[in-house]
């Protein structure tokens, strides 16, 4: 039976759910508070420069392929993928960096050249990481987080120890060189928690990194948003922008309507892809499943200070993605998770999309994106943003041995306060609730409300977790629950 389904938000999880629900014959409308599509993956265009505002690492290409295959399509029907080579660069000092190649064999040689004997160890580590990927990403993450039994399979039974050790412990027991340790700990940062709090089993992220590679949609991550928008429109989904949802209306214990810009819109089913905490504040308090105390006790992924920068010249000595790990990695992690404060010496990440796609900057110029991870809920002021911009630009100049300050045409910042005002993000988190052991699968906030009929949730605060591939999967999982109910 066809139903009217109202979806809050136009992020990846909402777009994914909208496609599946429309494919099943429902009348689907997306209500997005902002003027443009994509949520945290929106696009910024300024003075001839183009930026992805959020995600930039296209990992797990198989998950994207599987999504489009579900509709009888391929990613290549919508966008062209480039495998980045090198995948990325990691800076440790002045002109001192490690390049991660686009294939495992070369990465093994790089490891061996840094620490004798580490090549063989990496090969073994990656074989296990691949088997975890096959279990987790091809199977477990496609389960709806309803019951602990979902995690008990013949394969996971063999790996039970890997749920109780951590990535950090595993890596440090095999590798001694600090650089190699940091490189192997880096991928799980995408899951939002410290490597020392992330179960060993999550080494599937290392397989995503070294095994499957880092890809780039030709015109940036926003290509994927546009592809999903096209698919959704082909399937009949309607979009309303500048449509701020003020309330979810409940009558007789069932969600029956939304108040959008103060007008009532009826619906048979309501699905929120906005941050889960915010979605619950749209309900009267007796209908919320999780208390403020609950949310406050969760481990959230970091917030971030971001800069979108236009430069009036081409830079030397850069790669598409660059990590600046020339400072104490563990201290910065403590400043995020243990004793939240602005880090004295932040590690930071930069990308230069115009290295791969010249159309993102005017001819002879460069587009740059800088990111410093920060504790969620941290103080955010214009002077702090400015101070940290100067800090990282100084470091960037020294580490890559070039002057860029006088070449900056503009720099636009985005930080905690913008995450809150633009996305209604809890504590200004950038990418959701972390995937620690106690916040995995059935231990995450539920896709279906237990208090209100016909009300569902999707996105990075529910299952499976943070990141673009999980957001696509989250939309699929919730659409299956809605269809079933």
Interface contacts to ligand FAD, rule CB under 6 A: 8-14, 31-34, 39-41, 54-57, 244-245, 273-274, 278, 304, 306, 371, 423-424, 430-432, 459-460, 466-468, 471
Nearer residue to ligand FAD within complex by CB, 18 or 108: 18
Dihedral, 471, 475, 476, 478 alpha carbons, nearest 10: 130
DSSP state of 166: B
From 137, 134, 142, 140, select the one nearest 153 (Cα to Cα): 140
Shortest spacing between CB 418 and ligand FAD, in angstroms: 10
Shortest spacing between CB 207 and ligand FAD, in angstroms: 15
Q: How open is the CA angle 331-336-342, to the nearest 5 degrees? A: 80
Nearer residue to ligand FAD within complex by CB, 256 or 274: 274
Shortest spacing between CB 232 and ligand FAD, in angstroms: 13
Shortest spacing between CB 371 and ligand FAD, in angstroms: 6
Shortest spacing between CB 292 and ligand FAD, in angstroms: 18
Nearer residue to ligand FAD within complex by CB, 41 or 107: 41
Q: From the centroid of its chain, how far is CA 236?
A: 27
Q: From the centroid of its chain, how far is CA 169?
A: 24
Other CB atoms within 10 Å distance of the CB of residue 450? 8
Shortest spacing between CB 398 and ligand FAD, in angstroms: 25
CB 16 within 8 A of CB 67: yes
Nearer residue to ligand FAD within complex by CB, 11 or 199: 11
Nearer residue to ligand FAD within complex by CB, 122 or 140: 140
Q: From the centroid of its chain, how far is CA 75?
A: 19
Nearer residue to ligand FAD within complex by CB, 166 or 304: 304
Taking the C-alpha atoms of residue 439 and residue 433, their distance in angstroms, rounded to an integer, is 8
CB 334 within 8 A of CB 345: no
Taking the C-alpha atoms of residue 84 and residue 215, their distance in angstroms, rounded to an integer, is 6
Shortest spacing between CB 31 and ligand FAD, in angstroms: 5
Q: Can you give the length of the chain in residues? A: 485
Q: What is the DSSP string of 438-469?
A: GGSGGGSPPSB-SSSBTEEE-STTSSS-SSHH
Map tokens 């074989």 to a residue.
127
Nearer residue to ligand FAD within complex by CB, 156 or 479: 479
């Amino acid at each position: 039976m066809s139903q009217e389904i109202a979806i809050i938000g136009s992020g990846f999880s909402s777009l994914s759910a909208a496609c599946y629900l429309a494919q099943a014959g429902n009348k689907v409308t997306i209500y997005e508070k902002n003027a443009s599509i994509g949520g945290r993956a929106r696009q910024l265009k300024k003075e001839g420069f183009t930026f992805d505002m959020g995600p930039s690492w296209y990992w797990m290409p198989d998950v994207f392929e599987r999504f489009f295959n579900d509709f009888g399509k391929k990613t290549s029907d919508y966008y062209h993928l480039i495998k980045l080579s090198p995948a990325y660069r990691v800076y440790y000092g002045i002109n001192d960096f490690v390049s991660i190649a686009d294939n495992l064999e070369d990465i093994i040689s790089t490891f061996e050249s840094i620490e004798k004997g580490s090549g063989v160890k990496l090969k073994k580590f990656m074989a296990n990481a691949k088997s975890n990927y096959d279990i987790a990403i091809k199977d477990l993450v496609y389960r709806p987080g309803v019951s602990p039994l979902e995690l008990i399979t013949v394969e996971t039974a063999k790996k039970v120890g890997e749920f109780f050790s951590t990535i950090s412990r595993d890596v440090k027991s095999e590798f001694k060189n600090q650089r190699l340790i940091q490189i192997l700990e880096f991928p799980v940062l995408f899951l939002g928690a410290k490597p020392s709090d992330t179960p060993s089993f999550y080494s599937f992220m290392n397989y995503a990194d070294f095994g499957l590679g880092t890809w780039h949609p030709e015109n940036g991550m926003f290509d994927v948003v546009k592809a999903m928008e096209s698919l959704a429109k082909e399937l009949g989904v309607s979009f309303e922008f500048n449509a701020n949802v003020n309330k979810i209306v409940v009558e007789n214990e069932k969600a029956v309507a939304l108040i959008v810009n103060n007008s009532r819109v009826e619906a048979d089913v309501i699905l929120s892809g906005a941050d889960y905490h915010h979605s619950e504040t749209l309900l009267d308090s007796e209908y919320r499943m999780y208390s403020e105390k609950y949310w406050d006790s969760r481990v959230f992924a970091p917030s971030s200070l971001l800069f979108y920068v236009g430069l009036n010249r081409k830079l030397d000595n850069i790669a598409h993605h660059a990590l600046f790990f020339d400072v104490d990695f563990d201290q910065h992690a403590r400043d995020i998770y243990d004793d939240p404060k602005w880090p004295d010496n932040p590690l930071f990440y930069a990308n230069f999309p115009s290295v791969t796609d010249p159309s993102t900057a005017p001819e002879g110029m460069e587009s740059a994106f800088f990111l410093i991870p920060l504790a969620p809920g941290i103080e955010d002021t214009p002077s702090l943003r400015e101070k940290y911009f100067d800090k990282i630009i100084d470091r960037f100049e020294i580490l890559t041995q070039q002057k860029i300050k006088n070449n900056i045409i503009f720099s636009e910042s985005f930080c905690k306060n913008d995450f809150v005002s633009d996305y209604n993000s809890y504590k200004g988190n950038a990418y959701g609730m972390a995937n620690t052991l106690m916040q995995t699968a059935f231990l995450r906030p539920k896709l279906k409300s237990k208090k209100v009929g016909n009300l569902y949730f999707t996105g990075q605060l529910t299952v499976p977790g943070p990141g673009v591939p999980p957001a696509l999967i989250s939309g699929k999982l919730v659409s299956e629950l809605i269809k079933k109910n």
